[in-house]
Structure 1
Amino acid sequence: MKPGPKILSPKTLVLLLIAMMGLSACKEILLTADQQGKTVQVQQHDVVTLQLRGNPTTGNTWRIEQIDTDMLEQIGDYAYAVDDDKIGSGGMFTFRFKVLKHGESTLALTYKSQHNANNEVLKTFSVRLSAK
């Protein structure tokens, strides 16, 4: 005789519902160069995805210059995707961060050459994150 489907206890169902509600409160916030200099509202546990254009074939890359690691945790290294398969094409740098707690913090990046002796900054990006 085959066993029938398992029936979850009411306690287990309640715990599953609570866990699912907690996950649904998290959302992904997409930031681009359009948010430069602005204040963006986020919530604890949100994932902030930052996408900035660049071209590492020129020796230039985006670097994090200011981050409050008590409030934001970088998720892995940045990702880079080229626009097309042409040699020397630019593309998109993508950084991901998790909001750890309530508060306000500035996230700032610079775009500069890894090989430039005078460390000249070509572009900057800065955003103020306010987590309520």
Structure 2
Amino acid sequence: MGREEKTKTIVILFLLSLIFAGCKSASFNSSEKILELRGNPTTGYTWIYTIGDESIIRVDEDIQYLGKEGMVGAPSLFTYTVRSLKQGNTNLKFEYKRPWEDKKAEEVRFFEVTVKENGKITMTEKKPEEEKLTYKSVSMAEGIKLMSKDSGFILLDVRRPEEFAAGHIPGAVQLTNESMTKENTVRP
């Protein structure tokens, strides 16, 4: 095979790989799952949800009041439409509480969510005690941005003690990777 034939073969293979990649990504169809929870927003309680990775799913909320007009204490139906955005795994946590209170939630519902290559969603409910402790590694710029938005965080410095002693962010807590165990991990 001459040089020109090899070049044509490489170009054809490259074009076929682009076509295949395009077909593969075109097979993703967003799908949705509906989750219904009961609550009573007339008493100030509501369901507050957090998504582990917002690039994988989107959640839309709708609340339907089930009581008679003006009746305090009647239940409502909270409907959550979970839509797939891309393939991956994430979690979805619902806490039933008054948003302005600093108390533990009255109820917690935790779901592991998997979005398959074709966009289909599977959701598995886990007991809160089965909830996995997770973390997200971020760049310095993203970390500064996140810290400017929220004051309820703990900044862990997982470098070795001598590196921590040489300099660290004020307020950071030093905890080396090697010393992290289930026993010394505190849940919020």
Give the TM interval when normalised to the shorter protein: 0.5 to 0.7
Distance in 2, matches of 1:107 and 1:126, equals: 6
Q: Provide the rounded CA distance (Å) in 1 between the counterparts of 2:29 and 2:58.
A: 11
**In structure 2, how many angstroms separate the alpha carbons of the residues matched to 1:122 and 1:44?**
36
Return 5+ residue gaps in structure 2 as ranges: 1-25, 117-188
Matched residues, number: 89
SS of the residue 2:42 aligns to: helix
TM-score between both structures, scaled by the size of structure 1 = 0.58
TM-score (normalised: structure 2): 0.42
**Shift in Å, 1:82:** 2.0
Cα contact 1:109–1:126 (8 A) shared by 2: yes
Report if aligned partners of 2:51, 2:90 keep a CA contact under 8 Å in 1: no
Consecutive unaligned residues in structure 1, runs of 5 or more: 1-21, 26-42
Whole-angstrom CA distance in 1 between matches of 2:56 and 2:111: 14
Alignment correspondent of 1:50: 35
Shift of 1:48: 2.1
Contact 1:106–1:128, Cα closer than 8 Å, also in 2: yes
Taking only the aligned residue pairs, the percentage that are identical comes to: 25
Provide runs of 4+ in structure 1 moved above 3 Å: none
Structure that is richer in strand per residue: 1
Q: In proportion to residue count, which structure has more helix? A: 2
Aligned to 2:67: 84
Deviation at 1:114, TM superposition (A): 2.7
Larger Rg: 2
Relative CO higher for 1 or 2, CA cutoff 8 Å, sep ≥ 6?
1
